Chains A and B, each alone.
Chain A
């Protein structure tokens, strides 16, 4: 398998997806043990995050949502500062004021994480406007779910970006769940990307559990947005393997449906493929796995050693 020096290799994809999963699993474990607040996991959606984020340039911006660990880690965020943020410690990306749900990291271009479903869509056009009015060819990628696509602001955002010709890559992670409601209960069609035509822009649905397919589609989409300065609607069709918010017993989830999607788990799929093609052997995968576990343990240690914010921090950063 060939790739350019700047392009992530399939082994890189595997490692980042494994890091995301291990990081989120650790959060869940800490939550169960009463050491951390509840959290929204993206288990099963790692390919969608990794495939798209790695197609962006460092100068591009990212808007994400409450299920953001994948986007942040794929962008190169420090798991220690993320874990510290989740634990409410002052060394976190947002000084402990964000918690698990709203982490943004401006130095990584991961900005304005809104956990109001659809909030990221309302901000994307403004970031797009700033980019459209400055020199250069940077774009903004806005990650949202099928739930946000059912909010009215989806229509307002995509329509305005189309009318004003803003460089926004809309990335809908259609994970089949809208909080505690199955997506099929809320939409008569399967694909969000079909709506693109209604706004006069391009849209595409890709298998969101195939990281290489996502990455290829995202590279194409990024290139189009960068050169045409028009929005594009990319849908990664995937599945939320965990509940909406941990702890969650998933009693409301169809067991057969979940099992069938787990068979298409993005990490298992790439793992299997790389073994099959001989790109990696079990020893190499084991090495990656150990490296990932060490990073997550180090992140936990950093978070635990870090101090809480001083009480005076309560009312700082309210006004500029």
Chain B
């Protein structure tokens, strides 16, 4: 079976799930176009099905790739761009932040920017700091832009489809080592709403909120804590902006304890926002300190040993839960 056709309920890699989402959305809507560095080279199946006008290679020029997407989005197309590695987005910041993020507002709503920017990030492939930096919080702080960062194949597919259908610019971050992980994909459309968290494990003693790769570490921590009689609820945010405040607060009100986990650097990261919101809106229900488990305020290393030290591992997450339980 071609990886571009959705099977009923078979295990599919994240990479294939992304391919399925792209093909299905391009089939569904002729306005969807895709371009970027090596897009046409790597996605021959899309070129063959949709033609070279809709699937294009570009020069290695991230500024104009993003700018072209913004200009095209404002005038009727729905571009998906591949910017490869997240740090390369530094070359695209003007176009994403100042144009795609602001020109709808500045123009008094005359234009919208339905575009998706895909980029890989995250420890695991030892690519080093200039190919790996979890910069999702930058865009959470950017008006007009949405951010998603899935953890499993079904969400990679469903959120990409939602992002392509969204009328706003969406940053779609791929935690690199997840690309080869496999998961079941539901039959049918499988669109996953942006802004909705997913309860990955139900529990009563503490809430662990995470997204992307560290959801898996959080689940492992929850499993080992269960052996100690501690029941953890694990929430996968899936969307960093907008993030599902309601789901997080509901869980925190139930458990009274909150640990936020992400690989991105600590200071002003997504965890700070989640923790502050819990303090503002669920202070009365909190039974212990909110604890963050994050990457350090350091560039990502390339040595595998250091990379793994960078990532919040299950034992660190478990300790944080014990800390909030004062055990």
A296 to B63, CA, bound (A): 39
Chain A residues numbered 88-103 whose CB sits less than 8 Å from any CB in chain B: 92-98, 102
Assuming the contacts A114-B99, A122-B99, asked whether A129 and B71 have C-beta atoms less than 8 A apart, the reply is yes
Chain B contacts for A112, CB-based, 8 A: 70-71, 74, 99, 103, 107, 111
Could you tell me the distance in whole angstroms from the C-beta of A273 to the nearest C-beta in chain B? 38
State whether B110 touches A94 (Cβ < 8 A): yes
Surface stretch bound by B, among A14-22, A217-225, A312-320 = A312-320
Quick one: which of A113, A122, A130, A317 contacts B104, CB cutoff 8 A? A317
Chain B residues numbered 22-65 whose CB sits less than 8 Å from any CB in chain A: 33, 53, 56, 58-59, 61, 63-64
State whether A318 touches B77 (Cβ < 8 A): no
Chain A contacts for B168, CB-based, 8 A: 319-320
State whether A61 touches B98 (Cβ < 8 A): no
Could you tell me the distance in whole angstroms from the C-beta of A199 to the nearest C-beta in chain B? 12
A152: interface (CB < 8 Å): yes
Chain A residues numbered 278-310 whose CB sits less than 8 Å from any CB in chain B: none
State whether A123 touches B71 (Cβ < 8 A): yes
Chain A contacts for B76, CB-based, 8 A: 130, 134
Could you tell me the distance in whole angstroms from the C-beta of A156 to the nearest C-beta in chain B? 4
Chain B contacts for A76, CB-based, 8 A: none
State whether B77 touches A160 (Cβ < 8 A): no
A73: interface (CB < 8 Å): no
A126 to B63, CA, bound (A): 12
A197: interface (CB < 8 Å): no
A157: interface (CB < 8 Å): yes
Chain A contacts for B307, CB-based, 8 A: none
Could you tell me the distance in whole angstroms from the C-beta of B256 to the nearest C-beta in chain A? 33
A163: interface (CB < 8 Å): yes
Chain B contacts for A119, CB-based, 8 A: 67, 94-95, 98-99
A95 to B76, CA, bound (A): 22
| B84-109 to A contact mask, C-beta < 8 Å, 1/0 | 00000000001100110001111111
Assuming the contacts A130-B75, A157-B64, A320-B112, asked whether A122 and B70 have C-beta atoms less than 8 A apart, the reply is yes
State whether A95 touches B109 (Cβ < 8 A): yes
Chain A contacts for B61, CB-based, 8 A: 156, 159-160
Chain A residues numbered 107-122 whose CB sits less than 8 Å from any CB in chain B: 111-114, 116, 118-119, 121-122
Could you tell me the distance in whole angstroms from the C-beta of A146 to the nearest C-beta in chain B? 19
A104: interface (CB < 8 Å): yes
State whether B144 touches A318 (Cβ < 8 A): yes
Could you tell me the distance in whole angstroms from the C-beta of A271 to the nearest C-beta in chain B? 36
Could you tell me the distance in whole angstroms from the C-beta of A54 to the nearest C-beta in chain B? 23
State whether A111 touches B105 (Cβ < 8 A): no
Quick one: which of B71, B109, B143, B146 contacts A126, CB cutoff 8 A? B71
State whether B106 touches A122 (Cβ < 8 A): no
State whether B107 touches A122 (Cβ < 8 A): no
State whether B72 touches A316 (Cβ < 8 A): no
How many B residues have CB within 8 A of the partner chain?
Answer: 42
A131: interface (CB < 8 Å): yes
State whether A97 touches B107 (Cβ < 8 A): yes
| B101-129 to A contact mask, C-beta < 8 Å, 1/0 | 00111111111111000000000000000
Could you tell me the distance in whole angstroms from the C-beta of A91 to the nearest C-beta in chain B? 11
Could you tell me the distance in whole angstroms from the C-beta of B41 to the nearest C-beta in chain A? 15
A114 to B168, CA, bound (A): 18
Quick one: which of A122, A127, A134 contacts B63, CB cutoff 8 A? A122
A160 to B37, CA, bound (A): 12
State whether A164 touches B74 (Cβ < 8 A): no
B69: interface (CB < 8 Å): yes
Could you tell me the distance in whole angstroms from the C-beta of A121 to the nearest C-beta in chain B? 8
| B171-208 to A contact mask, C-beta < 8 Å, 1/0 | 00000000000000000000000000000000000000
Quick one: which of B59, B70, B103 contacts A160, CB cutoff 8 A? B59
Quick one: which of A98, A118, A134, A156 contacts B106, CB cutoff 8 A? A98
Chain A contacts for B56, CB-based, 8 A: 164
Assuming the contacts A119-B98, A156-B64, asked whether A127 and B75 have C-beta atoms less than 8 A apart, the reply is yes
State whether B74 touches A123 (Cβ < 8 A): yes
A104 to B66, CA, bound (A): 20
B271: interface (CB < 8 Å): no
State whether A317 touches B75 (Cβ < 8 A): no
Chain A contacts for B70, CB-based, 8 A: 112, 122-123, 126
Residue of B nearest to A131 (CB): B75
A64 to B133, CA, bound (A): 35
User: Knowing that A119-B98, A126-B67, A320-B109 are A-B contacts, what are 14 other residue pairs whose CB atoms are under 8 Å apart, sorted by A's residue number?
Assistant: A92-B108, A98-B107, A123-B67, A123-B70, A123-B71, A123-B74, A125-B67, A128-B71, A131-B75, A153-B64, A156-B63, A156-B67, A159-B61, A317-B105
Complex A-B, nearest 6 residue pairs according to Cβ-Cβ distance, in ascending order = A126-B71, A122-B67, A95-B108, A320-B167, A156-B64, A94-B108
Subset of 25 A-B contacts with CB under 8 Å = A92-B108, A94-B106, A98-B108, A104-B106, A104-B107, A111-B111, A113-B107, A114-B98, A116-B98, A122-B66, A122-B70, A122-B71, A123-B67, A123-B99, A125-B68, A126-B70, A127-B71, A133-B77, A156-B64, A160-B58, A160-B59, A317-B107, A318-B143, A319-B104, A320-B109
A interface with B by C-beta (< 8 Å): 61, 63, 92-98, 102, 104-106, 111-114, 116, 118-119, 121-131, 133-134, 152-153, 156-157, 159-160, 163-164, 316-320
